[in-house]
Structure 1
Protein backbone atom coordinates (compact mmCIF):
# COMPACT_ATOMS: atom_id res chain seq x y z
CA UNK A 1 0.00 0.00 0.00
CA UNK A 2 1.37 3.41 -0.97
CA UNK A 3 1.50 6.35 1.44
CA UNK A 4 -1.36 7.93 -0.51
CA UNK A 5 -3.46 4.76 -0.24
CA UNK A 6 -2.77 4.59 3.49
CA UNK A 7 -3.81 8.22 3.93
CA UNK A 8 -7.02 7.63 1.97
CA UNK A 9 -7.79 4.52 4.03
CA UNK A 10 -7.30 6.45 7.29
CA UNK A 11 -9.57 9.27 6.09
CA UNK A 12 -12.17 6.78 4.82
CA UNK A 13 -12.23 5.12 8.23
CA UNK A 14 -12.61 8.46 9.98
CA UNK A 15 -15.51 9.58 7.78
CA UNK A 16 -17.24 6.19 8.00
CA UNK A 17 -17.52 6.84 11.74
CA UNK A 18 -19.78 9.84 11.01
CA UNK A 19 -23.53 9.23 10.59
CA UNK A 20 -24.06 10.46 7.03
CA UNK A 21 -26.74 10.05 4.35
CA UNK A 22 -27.49 11.05 0.74
CA UNK A 23 -28.24 14.62 1.85
CA UNK A 24 -24.74 14.85 3.33
CA UNK A 25 -23.25 13.89 -0.04
CA UNK A 26 -25.24 16.66 -1.76
CA UNK A 27 -23.97 19.20 0.78
CA UNK A 28 -20.37 18.09 0.31
CA UNK A 29 -20.69 18.42 -3.45
CA UNK A 30 -21.97 21.98 -2.95
CA UNK A 31 -18.89 22.73 -0.82
CA UNK A 32 -16.67 21.22 -3.53
CA UNK A 33 -18.25 23.51 -6.14
CA UNK A 34 -17.66 26.48 -3.84
CA UNK A 35 -14.00 25.59 -3.34
CA UNK A 36 -13.47 24.94 -7.05
CA UNK A 37 -14.33 28.59 -7.64
CA UNK A 38 -12.38 30.03 -4.68
CA UNK A 39 -8.63 29.38 -5.02
CA UNK A 40 -7.67 31.46 -1.99
CA UNK A 41 -10.18 29.66 0.21
CA UNK A 42 -9.07 26.19 -0.81
CA UNK A 43 -5.44 27.17 -0.25
CA UNK A 44 -6.32 28.35 3.26
CA UNK A 45 -8.10 25.10 4.05
CA UNK A 46 -5.11 23.03 2.91
CA UNK A 47 -2.31 25.31 4.16
CA UNK A 48 0.40 23.01 5.60
CA UNK A 49 1.75 25.87 7.75
CA UNK A 50 -1.56 25.94 9.64
CA UNK A 51 -2.42 23.31 12.25
CA UNK A 52 -5.08 20.69 11.44
CA UNK A 53 -7.27 22.05 14.23
CA UNK A 54 -6.98 25.58 12.83
CA UNK A 55 -7.99 24.41 9.36
CA UNK A 56 -10.99 22.53 10.77
CA UNK A 57 -11.95 25.60 12.81
CA UNK A 58 -11.79 27.78 9.70
CA UNK A 59 -14.03 25.36 7.82
CA UNK A 60 -16.54 25.36 10.67
CA UNK A 61 -16.69 29.17 10.79
CA UNK A 62 -17.12 29.43 7.03
CA UNK A 63 -19.81 26.77 6.73
CA UNK A 64 -21.79 27.23 9.96
CA UNK A 65 -25.45 27.82 9.14
CA UNK A 66 -24.90 26.98 5.46
CA UNK A 67 -24.66 23.16 5.67
CA UNK A 68 -25.50 20.61 8.33
CA UNK A 69 -23.29 19.89 11.33
CA UNK A 70 -22.68 16.43 9.83
CA UNK A 71 -21.34 17.91 6.60
CA UNK A 72 -19.14 20.30 8.59
CA UNK A 73 -17.75 17.35 10.54
CA UNK A 74 -16.85 15.55 7.31
CA UNK A 75 -15.21 18.67 5.85
CA UNK A 76 -13.30 19.06 9.11
CA UNK A 77 -11.96 15.52 8.83
CA UNK A 78 -10.86 16.15 5.24
CA UNK A 79 -9.10 19.48 5.83
CA UNK A 80 -7.25 18.11 8.86
CA UNK A 81 -5.55 15.52 6.63
CA UNK A 82 -2.26 16.44 4.91
CA UNK A 83 -2.60 17.14 1.17
CA UNK A 84 0.02 17.66 -1.50
CA UNK A 85 -1.98 20.58 -2.93
CA UNK A 86 -5.19 22.57 -2.53
CA UNK A 87 -6.65 20.86 -5.59
CA UNK A 88 -5.85 17.44 -4.13
CA UNK A 89 -7.73 18.43 -0.97
CA UNK A 90 -10.81 19.39 -3.01
CA UNK A 91 -10.56 16.10 -4.91
CA UNK A 92 -10.34 14.28 -1.58
CA UNK A 93 -13.47 16.03 -0.34
CA UNK A 94 -15.35 15.08 -3.50
CA UNK A 95 -14.14 11.49 -3.10
CA UNK A 96 -15.75 11.39 0.35
CA UNK A 97 -18.97 12.76 -1.13
CA UNK A 98 -18.96 9.96 -3.71
CA UNK A 99 -18.30 7.32 -1.05
CA UNK A 100 -21.12 8.70 1.13
CA UNK A 101 -23.53 8.63 -1.83
CA UNK A 102 -22.54 5.03 -2.60
CA UNK A 103 -22.94 4.01 1.05
CA UNK A 104 -26.41 5.57 1.13
CA UNK A 105 -27.27 3.64 -2.04
CA UNK A 106 -26.03 0.40 -0.48
CA UNK A 107 -28.08 1.06 2.65
CA UNK A 108 -31.16 1.42 0.46
CA UNK A 109 -30.43 -1.81 -1.42
CA UNK A 110 -29.79 0.03 -4.69
CA UNK A 111 -26.01 -0.19 -5.05
CA UNK A 112 -26.04 -2.90 -7.73
CA UNK A 113 -28.51 -0.88 -9.81
CA UNK A 114 -26.38 2.26 -9.45
CA UNK A 115 -23.25 0.37 -10.51
CA UNK A 116 -24.98 -1.05 -13.59
CA UNK A 117 -26.38 2.35 -14.59
CA UNK A 118 -23.06 4.14 -14.14
CA UNK A 119 -21.24 1.51 -16.17
CA UNK A 120 -23.83 1.69 -18.95
CA UNK A 121 -23.57 5.49 -19.04
CA UNK A 122 -19.77 5.38 -19.23
CA UNK A 123 -19.98 2.93 -22.15
CA UNK A 124 -22.50 5.19 -23.90
CA UNK A 125 -20.17 8.18 -23.65
CA UNK A 126 -17.17 6.06 -24.69
CA UNK A 127 -18.96 4.85 -27.82
CA UNK A 128 -20.31 8.26 -28.91
CA UNK A 129 -17.47 10.44 -30.30
CA UNK A 130 -19.57 13.62 -30.40
CA UNK A 131 -20.82 13.22 -26.83
CA UNK A 132 -17.35 12.36 -25.57
CA UNK A 133 -15.86 15.38 -27.35
CA UNK A 134 -18.50 17.68 -25.85
CA UNK A 135 -17.75 16.45 -22.33
CA UNK A 136 -13.99 16.87 -22.88
CA UNK A 137 -14.23 20.32 -24.46
CA UNK A 138 -12.67 23.12 -22.40
CA UNK A 139 -14.80 25.60 -24.34
CA UNK A 140 -18.05 24.02 -23.17
CA UNK A 141 -19.11 25.29 -19.69
CA UNK A 142 -19.35 22.83 -16.81
CA UNK A 143 -23.03 23.50 -16.20
CA UNK A 144 -23.74 23.00 -19.90
CA UNK A 145 -22.05 19.59 -19.72
CA UNK A 146 -24.06 18.69 -16.64
CA UNK A 147 -27.28 19.68 -18.40
CA UNK A 148 -26.26 17.50 -21.36
CA UNK A 149 -25.78 14.45 -19.15
CA UNK A 150 -28.96 15.20 -17.17
CA UNK A 151 -31.03 15.25 -20.37
CA UNK A 152 -29.48 11.96 -21.44
CA UNK A 153 -30.50 10.11 -18.27
CA UNK A 154 -33.53 12.11 -17.06
CA UNK A 155 -36.17 9.84 -15.55
CA UNK A 156 -34.23 6.69 -16.45
CA UNK A 157 -31.88 6.14 -13.51
CA UNK A 158 -31.68 6.02 -9.73
CA UNK A 159 -31.27 9.47 -8.08
CA UNK A 160 -27.80 8.50 -6.82
CA UNK A 161 -26.77 7.55 -10.37
CA UNK A 162 -27.92 10.97 -11.59
CA UNK A 163 -26.08 12.69 -8.74
CA UNK A 164 -22.80 10.87 -9.41
CA UNK A 165 -23.09 11.30 -13.17
CA UNK A 166 -23.34 15.05 -12.60
CA UNK A 167 -20.20 14.96 -10.46
CA UNK A 168 -18.28 12.88 -13.01
CA UNK A 169 -18.68 15.63 -15.60
CA UNK A 170 -15.95 17.51 -13.71
CA UNK A 171 -13.69 14.62 -14.80
CA UNK A 172 -11.10 14.70 -12.03
CA UNK A 173 -9.71 11.46 -13.55
CA UNK A 174 -9.08 13.11 -16.96
CA UNK A 175 -12.27 11.97 -18.71
CA UNK A 176 -15.90 11.28 -17.83
CA UNK A 177 -15.63 7.47 -18.39
CA UNK A 178 -12.42 7.22 -16.34
CA UNK A 179 -13.99 9.19 -13.50
CA UNK A 180 -17.03 6.89 -13.56
CA UNK A 181 -14.61 3.94 -13.53
CA UNK A 182 -13.05 5.32 -10.33
CA UNK A 183 -16.52 5.49 -8.75
CA UNK A 184 -17.19 1.87 -9.71
CA UNK A 185 -13.88 0.82 -8.21
CA UNK A 186 -14.83 2.60 -4.98
CA UNK A 187 -18.16 0.75 -4.92
CA UNK A 188 -16.43 -2.60 -5.50
CA UNK A 189 -13.86 -1.91 -2.78
CA UNK A 190 -16.58 -0.92 -0.32
CA UNK A 191 -18.49 -4.13 -1.07
CA UNK A 192 -15.35 -6.27 -0.85
CA UNK A 193 -15.68 -7.25 -4.51
CA UNK A 194 -13.37 -7.50 -7.51
CA UNK A 195 -14.33 -6.05 -10.88
CA UNK A 196 -14.23 -8.40 -13.88
CA UNK A 197 -14.02 -6.44 -17.14
CA UNK A 198 -15.38 -8.71 -19.84
CA UNK A 199 -15.38 -8.26 -23.61
CA UNK A 200 -17.51 -10.51 -25.82
CA UNK A 201 -18.55 -10.48 -29.46
CA UNK A 202 -22.26 -10.87 -28.70
CA UNK A 203 -24.47 -10.17 -25.65
CA UNK A 204 -24.66 -12.96 -23.08
CA UNK A 205 -28.03 -14.33 -22.02
CA UNK A 206 -28.89 -14.64 -18.32
CA UNK A 207 -27.81 -18.27 -18.08
CA UNK A 208 -24.45 -17.59 -19.76
CA UNK A 209 -23.84 -14.59 -17.52
CA UNK A 210 -24.69 -16.62 -14.41
CA UNK A 211 -22.31 -19.43 -15.41
CA UNK A 212 -19.54 -16.94 -16.19
CA UNK A 213 -20.03 -15.17 -12.86
CA UNK A 214 -19.90 -18.46 -10.95
CA UNK A 215 -16.67 -19.43 -12.71
CA UNK A 216 -15.07 -16.05 -12.01
CA UNK A 217 -16.12 -16.11 -8.36
CA UNK A 218 -14.38 -19.48 -8.05
CA UNK A 219 -11.32 -18.13 -9.89
CA UNK A 220 -11.11 -14.92 -7.84
CA UNK A 221 -11.91 -16.59 -4.53
CA UNK A 222 -14.56 -14.02 -3.64
CA UNK A 223 -17.38 -11.79 -4.84
CA UNK A 224 -17.07 -10.43 -8.38
CA UNK A 225 -18.89 -7.63 -10.20
CA UNK A 226 -19.23 -8.11 -13.96
CA UNK A 227 -18.72 -5.25 -16.40
CA UNK A 228 -19.63 -6.65 -19.81
CA UNK A 229 -18.70 -4.86 -23.03
CA UNK A 230 -19.94 -6.15 -26.38
CA UNK A 231 -17.42 -5.59 -29.18
CA UNK A 232 -18.01 -7.34 -32.54
CA UNK A 233 -14.34 -6.83 -33.41
CA UNK A 234 -13.33 -9.64 -31.07
CA UNK A 235 -15.12 -12.02 -33.54
CA UNK A 236 -15.73 -14.75 -30.97
CA UNK A 237 -14.65 -16.02 -27.56
CA UNK A 238 -14.19 -13.90 -24.47
CA UNK A 239 -11.65 -11.62 -22.81
CA UNK A 240 -11.67 -11.20 -19.02
CA UNK A 241 -9.54 -8.81 -16.96
CA UNK A 242 -9.50 -8.94 -13.15
CA UNK A 243 -7.06 -6.53 -11.54
CA UNK A 244 -3.81 -7.04 -13.49
CA UNK A 245 -4.71 -10.53 -14.71
CA UNK A 246 -6.03 -10.88 -18.27
CA UNK A 247 -7.59 -14.09 -19.59
CA UNK A 248 -7.76 -13.89 -23.38
CA UNK A 249 -9.52 -16.48 -25.55
CA UNK A 250 -10.98 -14.43 -28.40
CA UNK A 251 -10.63 -15.35 -32.05
CA UNK A 252 -9.21 -11.89 -32.74
CA UNK A 253 -6.52 -12.39 -30.11
CA UNK A 254 -5.57 -15.80 -31.50
CA UNK A 255 -5.35 -14.37 -35.02
CA UNK A 256 -3.16 -11.54 -33.74
CA UNK A 257 -0.88 -14.03 -31.99
CA UNK A 258 -0.60 -16.03 -35.23
CA UNK A 259 0.23 -12.87 -37.18
CA UNK A 260 2.99 -11.95 -34.73
CA UNK A 261 4.47 -15.44 -34.92
CA UNK A 262 4.55 -15.23 -38.74
CA UNK A 263 6.26 -11.84 -38.60
CA UNK A 264 8.91 -13.21 -36.24
CA UNK A 265 9.73 -16.25 -38.41
Structure 2
Protein backbone atom coordinates (compact mmCIF):
# COMPACT_ATOMS: atom_id res chain seq x y z
CA UNK A 1 0.00 0.00 0.00
CA UNK A 2 1.09 3.54 -0.67
CA UNK A 3 0.45 7.06 0.51
CA UNK A 4 -3.06 7.57 1.84
CA UNK A 5 -3.79 3.86 2.14
CA UNK A 6 -0.67 3.26 4.23
CA UNK A 7 -1.73 5.96 6.70
CA UNK A 8 -5.29 4.60 6.79
CA UNK A 9 -4.02 1.07 7.42
CA UNK A 10 -2.09 2.30 10.47
CA UNK A 11 -5.27 3.91 11.84
CA UNK A 12 -7.36 0.79 11.25
CA UNK A 13 -4.67 -1.39 12.85
CA UNK A 14 -4.82 0.82 15.92
CA UNK A 15 -8.58 0.29 16.18
CA UNK A 16 -8.10 -3.42 15.57
CA UNK A 17 -5.49 -3.68 18.32
CA UNK A 18 -7.89 -2.03 20.73
CA UNK A 19 -10.80 -4.40 20.10
CA UNK A 20 -9.08 -7.71 19.30
CA UNK A 21 -7.62 -8.42 22.74
CA UNK A 22 -10.77 -9.98 24.20
CA UNK A 23 -11.94 -11.62 20.94
CA UNK A 24 -11.75 -15.21 19.77
CA UNK A 25 -8.84 -14.59 17.41
CA UNK A 26 -9.44 -17.61 15.19
CA UNK A 27 -13.06 -16.66 14.63
CA UNK A 28 -12.05 -13.04 14.11
CA UNK A 29 -9.64 -14.10 11.38
CA UNK A 30 -12.38 -16.08 9.64
CA UNK A 31 -14.79 -13.15 9.84
CA UNK A 32 -12.32 -10.63 8.42
CA UNK A 33 -11.43 -13.03 5.60
CA UNK A 34 -15.15 -13.46 4.86
CA UNK A 35 -15.76 -9.71 4.67
CA UNK A 36 -12.70 -9.19 2.44
CA UNK A 37 -14.01 -11.93 0.15
CA UNK A 38 -17.47 -10.33 0.13
CA UNK A 39 -15.98 -7.02 -0.98
CA UNK A 40 -14.07 -8.80 -3.74
CA UNK A 41 -17.31 -10.32 -5.05
CA UNK A 42 -19.63 -7.34 -4.56
CA UNK A 43 -18.01 -4.58 -6.59
CA UNK A 44 -20.83 -2.12 -5.93
CA UNK A 45 -20.50 -2.52 -2.18
CA UNK A 46 -16.72 -2.14 -2.38
CA UNK A 47 -17.01 1.05 -4.42
CA UNK A 48 -19.60 2.44 -2.00
CA UNK A 49 -17.52 1.78 1.11
CA UNK A 50 -14.28 3.07 -0.44
CA UNK A 51 -15.84 6.15 -2.06
CA UNK A 52 -13.92 9.16 -0.62
CA UNK A 53 -16.81 11.50 -1.45
CA UNK A 54 -19.19 9.73 0.95
CA UNK A 55 -19.30 10.73 4.59
CA UNK A 56 -17.74 8.29 7.03
CA UNK A 57 -21.01 8.22 8.99
CA UNK A 58 -22.89 7.00 5.90
CA UNK A 59 -20.46 4.18 5.32
CA UNK A 60 -20.43 3.23 8.99
CA UNK A 61 -24.22 2.97 8.96
CA UNK A 62 -24.11 0.77 5.86
CA UNK A 63 -21.60 -1.58 7.50
CA UNK A 64 -23.65 -1.83 10.69
CA UNK A 65 -26.86 -2.57 8.77
CA UNK A 66 -25.07 -5.23 6.73
CA UNK A 67 -23.07 -6.96 9.49
CA UNK A 68 -24.72 -6.23 12.85
CA UNK A 69 -25.52 -9.54 14.53
CA UNK A 70 -23.70 -11.54 11.85
CA UNK A 71 -20.13 -11.06 13.04
CA UNK A 72 -18.46 -10.45 16.39
CA UNK A 73 -18.19 -6.99 17.91
CA UNK A 74 -14.44 -6.95 17.25
CA UNK A 75 -14.92 -7.78 13.55
CA UNK A 76 -17.71 -5.22 13.21
CA UNK A 77 -15.67 -2.42 14.74
CA UNK A 78 -12.66 -3.31 12.59
CA UNK A 79 -14.73 -3.22 9.40
CA UNK A 80 -16.36 0.06 10.47
CA UNK A 81 -12.93 1.58 10.99
CA UNK A 82 -11.77 0.34 7.58
CA UNK A 83 -14.88 1.61 5.79
CA UNK A 84 -14.59 5.00 7.50
CA UNK A 85 -10.97 5.41 6.38
CA UNK A 86 -9.80 6.78 3.02
CA UNK A 87 -8.02 4.53 0.54
CA UNK A 88 -5.85 5.20 -2.50
CA UNK A 89 -7.73 2.56 -4.49
CA UNK A 90 -10.93 0.59 -3.71
CA UNK A 91 -9.12 -2.75 -3.52
CA UNK A 92 -7.00 -1.53 -0.61
CA UNK A 93 -10.03 -1.76 1.68
CA UNK A 94 -10.36 -5.51 1.18
CA UNK A 95 -6.57 -5.91 1.30
CA UNK A 96 -6.50 -4.24 4.72
CA UNK A 97 -9.19 -6.53 6.12
CA UNK A 98 -7.48 -9.64 4.79
CA UNK A 99 -4.18 -8.45 6.24
CA UNK A 100 -5.78 -8.06 9.67
CA UNK A 101 -7.29 -11.52 9.28
CA UNK A 102 -3.75 -12.88 8.87
CA UNK A 103 -2.64 -10.91 11.93
CA UNK A 104 -5.55 -12.41 13.91
CA UNK A 105 -4.58 -15.94 12.93
CA UNK A 106 -0.94 -15.26 13.79
CA UNK A 107 -1.94 -13.75 17.14
CA UNK A 108 -4.04 -16.84 17.85
CA UNK A 109 -0.99 -19.03 17.25
CA UNK A 110 1.18 -16.72 19.34
CA UNK A 111 -1.23 -16.95 22.27
CA UNK A 112 -0.98 -20.74 22.01
CA UNK A 113 2.81 -20.67 21.81
CA UNK A 114 2.66 -22.02 18.23
CA UNK A 115 3.79 -19.04 16.14
CA UNK A 116 7.08 -20.78 15.24
CA UNK A 117 5.08 -23.78 14.05
CA UNK A 118 2.85 -21.67 11.82
CA UNK A 119 5.79 -19.89 10.22
CA UNK A 120 7.58 -23.19 9.61
CA UNK A 121 4.48 -24.99 8.32
CA UNK A 122 3.65 -22.24 5.83
CA UNK A 123 7.20 -22.40 4.51
CA UNK A 124 7.25 -26.19 4.26
CA UNK A 125 3.83 -26.34 2.62
CA UNK A 126 5.02 -23.81 0.06
CA UNK A 127 8.01 -26.01 -0.76
CA UNK A 128 5.81 -29.11 -1.09
CA UNK A 129 3.43 -27.34 -3.46
CA UNK A 130 6.29 -25.92 -5.52
CA UNK A 131 7.79 -29.39 -5.98
CA UNK A 132 4.52 -31.19 -6.79
CA UNK A 133 3.11 -30.07 -10.11
CA UNK A 134 -0.16 -32.00 -9.84
CA UNK A 135 -0.87 -30.67 -6.35
CA UNK A 136 -0.02 -27.13 -7.41
CA UNK A 137 -2.37 -27.40 -10.38
CA UNK A 138 -5.20 -28.84 -8.27
CA UNK A 139 -4.97 -26.07 -5.69
CA UNK A 140 -4.52 -23.30 -8.27
CA UNK A 141 -7.17 -24.37 -10.79
CA UNK A 142 -9.91 -21.69 -10.84
CA UNK A 143 -12.39 -24.29 -12.13
CA UNK A 144 -12.12 -26.37 -8.96
CA UNK A 145 -14.77 -25.16 -6.47
CA UNK A 146 -13.74 -23.73 -3.11
CA UNK A 147 -15.28 -26.67 -1.25
CA UNK A 148 -13.22 -29.14 -3.23
CA UNK A 149 -9.98 -27.30 -2.54
CA UNK A 150 -10.69 -27.08 1.18
CA UNK A 151 -11.58 -30.76 1.31
CA UNK A 152 -8.30 -31.61 -0.39
CA UNK A 153 -6.39 -29.45 2.10
CA UNK A 154 -8.15 -31.08 5.01
CA UNK A 155 -7.15 -34.50 3.71
CA UNK A 156 -3.55 -33.49 3.06
CA UNK A 157 -2.66 -31.42 6.12
CA UNK A 158 -5.75 -30.99 8.29
CA UNK A 159 -4.45 -33.07 11.20
CA UNK A 160 -0.78 -32.32 10.61
CA UNK A 161 -0.63 -28.55 11.08
CA UNK A 162 -1.66 -25.94 13.63
CA UNK A 163 -5.27 -24.73 13.10
CA UNK A 164 -3.97 -21.24 12.36
CA UNK A 165 -1.79 -22.65 9.57
CA UNK A 166 -4.75 -24.47 8.00
CA UNK A 167 -6.81 -21.27 8.25
CA UNK A 168 -4.14 -19.26 6.41
CA UNK A 169 -3.45 -21.86 3.73
CA UNK A 170 -7.18 -22.21 3.17
CA UNK A 171 -7.57 -18.48 2.57
CA UNK A 172 -4.73 -18.38 0.04
CA UNK A 173 -6.00 -21.45 -1.82
CA UNK A 174 -9.71 -20.61 -1.83
CA UNK A 175 -9.34 -16.87 -2.43
CA UNK A 176 -6.11 -16.13 -4.35
CA UNK A 177 -7.25 -12.53 -5.00
CA UNK A 178 -5.04 -12.20 -8.07
CA UNK A 179 -1.99 -13.80 -6.46
CA UNK A 180 -0.19 -16.95 -7.46
CA UNK A 181 -0.38 -19.74 -4.89
CA UNK A 182 3.36 -19.40 -4.21
CA UNK A 183 3.08 -15.62 -3.93
CA UNK A 184 0.14 -15.81 -1.53
CA UNK A 185 1.88 -18.27 0.77
CA UNK A 186 5.02 -16.12 0.76
CA UNK A 187 3.00 -12.98 1.53
CA UNK A 188 1.20 -14.61 4.45
CA UNK A 189 4.49 -16.04 5.71
CA UNK A 190 5.98 -12.53 5.77
CA UNK A 191 3.00 -11.18 7.73
CA UNK A 192 3.30 -14.02 10.25
CA UNK A 193 7.02 -13.30 10.63
CA UNK A 194 6.22 -9.63 11.23
CA UNK A 195 4.00 -10.66 14.13
CA UNK A 196 7.18 -11.21 16.12
CA UNK A 197 7.75 -7.46 16.08
CA UNK A 198 4.40 -6.80 17.79
CA UNK A 199 4.24 -6.46 21.54
CA UNK A 200 1.49 -8.08 23.60
CA UNK A 201 0.16 -6.16 26.57
CA UNK A 202 -1.86 -8.06 29.19
CA UNK A 203 -4.21 -5.57 30.82
CA UNK A 204 -5.95 -6.49 34.08
CA UNK A 205 -8.88 -4.34 35.11
CA UNK A 206 -11.78 -4.62 37.54
CA UNK A 207 -14.18 -3.82 34.69
CA UNK A 208 -13.96 -4.17 30.94
CA UNK A 209 -12.45 -1.17 29.17
CA UNK A 210 -14.54 0.79 26.69
CA UNK A 211 -13.45 0.86 23.06
CA UNK A 212 -12.34 4.47 23.46
CA UNK A 213 -10.23 3.57 26.50
CA UNK A 214 -8.65 0.66 24.62
CA UNK A 215 -7.82 2.88 21.66
CA UNK A 216 -6.22 5.55 23.87
CA UNK A 217 -4.25 2.93 25.77
CA UNK A 218 -3.06 1.20 22.57
CA UNK A 219 -2.03 4.57 21.11
CA UNK A 220 -0.08 5.51 24.25
CA UNK A 221 1.68 2.14 24.43
CA UNK A 222 2.55 2.29 20.74
CA UNK A 223 4.11 5.72 21.24
CA UNK A 224 5.91 4.61 24.40
CA UNK A 225 7.37 1.35 23.05
CA UNK A 226 7.72 2.25 19.39
CA UNK A 227 5.85 -0.90 18.26
CA UNK A 228 2.29 -1.94 17.57
CA UNK A 229 0.79 -3.35 20.76
CA UNK A 230 -1.92 -5.98 20.96
CA UNK A 231 -4.11 -5.54 24.03
CA UNK A 232 -5.31 -8.66 25.83
CA UNK A 233 -7.79 -7.41 28.44
CA UNK A 234 -8.55 -9.58 31.47
CA UNK A 235 -11.40 -8.56 33.77
CA UNK A 236 -10.41 -9.40 37.35
CA UNK A 237 -12.59 -8.19 40.28
CA UNK A 238 -9.60 -8.62 42.62
CA UNK A 239 -8.02 -5.56 40.98
CA UNK A 240 -10.48 -3.36 42.96
CA UNK A 241 -9.82 -0.25 40.87
CA UNK A 242 -7.52 1.07 38.17
CA UNK A 243 -5.67 -1.40 35.96
CA UNK A 244 -2.30 -3.04 35.44
CA UNK A 245 -0.37 -3.59 32.22
CA UNK A 246 2.30 -6.22 31.71
CA UNK A 247 4.49 -6.15 28.59
CA UNK A 248 7.23 -8.72 28.81
CA UNK A 249 9.08 -8.01 32.06
CA UNK A 250 7.59 -4.50 32.39
CA UNK A 251 4.70 -3.95 34.79
CA UNK A 252 2.69 -0.74 34.98
CA UNK A 253 0.40 -1.04 37.98
CA UNK A 254 -2.20 1.62 38.81
CA UNK A 255 -4.56 -0.73 40.65
CA UNK A 256 -5.78 -0.17 44.18
CA UNK A 257 -4.67 -3.70 45.03
CA UNK A 258 -1.22 -2.91 43.68
CA UNK A 259 -0.92 0.24 45.78
CA UNK A 260 -2.05 -1.66 48.88
CA UNK A 261 0.56 -4.32 48.23
CA UNK A 262 3.23 -1.65 47.75
CA UNK A 263 2.31 -0.09 51.13
CA UNK A 264 2.53 -3.52 52.75
CA UNK A 265 6.00 -4.09 51.32
CA UNK A 266 7.20 -0.72 52.54
CA UNK A 267 5.80 -1.32 56.03
CA UNK A 268 7.39 -4.76 56.13
CA UNK A 269 10.73 -3.22 55.13
State the TM bucket, normalised to the shorter chain. Answer: 0.5 to 0.7
Kept in 1: contact 2:2–2:88 (CA 8 A): no
Q: What is the DSSP-based 3-state SS (H/G/I as helix, E as strand, rest coil) of the residue aligned with 2:33?
A: helix
1:167 paired to 2:180 = no
Q: What is the DSSP-based 3-state SS (H/G/I as helix, E as strand, rest coil) of the residue aligned with 1:43?
A: helix
> CA, structure 1 residues 48+5, in 2 after alignment: closer, same or farther (shift >3 Å)?
closer
Which residue of 2 is the match for residue 262 of structure 1? Answer: none
Structure 1 residue runs without a partner (length 5+): 194-265
1:51 paired to 2:55 = yes
Which residue of 1 is the match for residue 9 of structure 2? Answer: 8
Q: How much does 1:115 deviate?
A: 0.9
> CA, structure 1 residues 173+184, in 2 after alignment: closer, same or farther (shift >3 Å)?
farther
Q: How much does 1:2 deviate?
A: 4.9
- Aligned residues between the structures: 193
Q: Give distance in 1, aligned partners of 2:82 and 2:44.
A: 17
1:178 paired to 2:198 = no
Which residue of 1 is the match for residue 107 of structure 2? Answer: 103
Structure 2 residue runs without a partner (length 5+): 199-269
Q: How much does 1:173 deviate?
A: 5.9
Q: How much does 1:25 deviate?
A: 1.4
Q: How much does 1:101 deviate?
A: 1.3
- Give the TM-score normalised by structure 1: 0.66
Quick check: 105-114 or 17-26, which moved more?
Answer: 17-26
Which residue of 1 is the match for residue 197 of structure 2? Answer: 192
Which residue of 2 is the match for residue 31 of structure 1? Answer: 35
Equivalent of 1:141 in 138, 141, 145: 145
Which residue of 1 is the match for residue 134 of structure 2? Answer: 130
Q: How much does 1:8 deviate?
A: 2.9
Q: How much does 1:156 deviate?
A: 0.8
Which residue of 1 is the match for residue 248 of structure 2? Answer: none
Higher relative CO (Cα under 8 Å, sequence separation at least 6) belongs to 2
**1:222-233 aligned within 5 A:** none
- Give the TM-score normalised by structure 2: 0.65
Which residue of 1 is the match for residue 212 of structure 2? Answer: none
> CA, structure 1 residues 41+173, in 2 after alignment: closer, same or farther (shift >3 Å)?
closer
Which residue of 2 is the match for residue 232 of structure 1? Answer: none
